[in-house]
Amino acid sequence: MSAVPGPPFTISIRAADALAKIVERITRLEVGTDYRLDIRLHREHRVQSIYSSLAIEGNQLTLDQVSDLLGGKRVWGRPADIREVENARDAYDRLLSFDPYDVADFLTAHTLLTQGLIEEVGRFRAGDVAVFEGDAQVHIGARPQFVPELIGGLFDWARTTNLHPVLLSAIVHCEIETVHPFADGNGRIGRLWQTLILARWNDSFAALPMESVVFQRRPEYYQSLRTAQLDNDATGFIEFSLDAILGAIDGVLVSYRGGTSGGTSGRTSRDAAVLDALRTDPTLTGAALSDLLGIPRRTIERRLSALKASGHLRREGSTKAGRWIVLKEHV
Which of 29-38, 176-185, 250-259, 314-323 has the weakest average pLDDT?
Answer: 250-259
Q: Give me the CATH topology for the region 13-255.
A: Fic-like fold (1.10.3290)
Q: What is the pLDDT of residue 2?
A: 45
How far is Cα 315 from Cα 327, in angstroms, rounded to an integer?
A: 10
DSSP letters, 1-39, are -PPPPPPP----HHHHHHHHHHHHHHHHHHHHS-GGG-H
CATH code that applies to domain 266-326: 1.10.10.10
Which range is most confident: 160-174, 293-307, 316-330?
160-174
Q: pTM of the predicted model, to two decimals? A: 0.80
pLDDT exceeds 60 at position 92: yes
| CB contact at 8 A, 108 and 98 | yes
Average pLDDT over residues 316-329: 81
Which range is most confident: 25-29, 267-271, 325-329?
25-29
Q: What is the pLDDT of residue 4?
A: 63
Q: Which one-letter amino acid corresponds to residue 77?
A: G
Q: What is the CB-side half-sphere exposure of residue 215 using CA atoms within 13 A?
A: 23
Write down the mean pLDDT value for the chain: 89
The per-residue pLDDT for range 233-273, each reduced to its tens digit, is 999 999 999 999 999 998 888 777 543 333 344 456 678 77
* Alpha-helical runs (H) found in the chain: 13-32, 39-56, 63-70, 79-93, 103-114, 147-160, 165-179, 186-201, 210-216, 218-231, 235-255, 266-280, 286-293, 297-309
Domain ranges for the chain: 13-255, 266-326
How far is Cα 159 from Cα 133, in angstroms, rounded to an integer?
A: 33
How far is Cα 91 from Cα 211, in angstroms, rounded to an integer?
A: 15
DSSP, res 98: S
Q: What is the pLDDT of residue 100?
A: 97
pLDDT band at 330, cuts 50/70/90? low
How far is Cα 191 from Cα 288, in angstroms, rounded to an integer?
A: 25
Q: What is the pLDDT of residue 261?
A: 35
The per-residue pLDDT for range 264-309, each reduced to its tens digit, is 444 566 787 788 888 888 888 888 888 777 677 888 888 888 888 8
Sign, CA torsion 94/98/100/102:
negative
Q: Is 80 exposed, middle or buried (0-12, 13-18, 19+ CB in 10 A)?
A: exposed
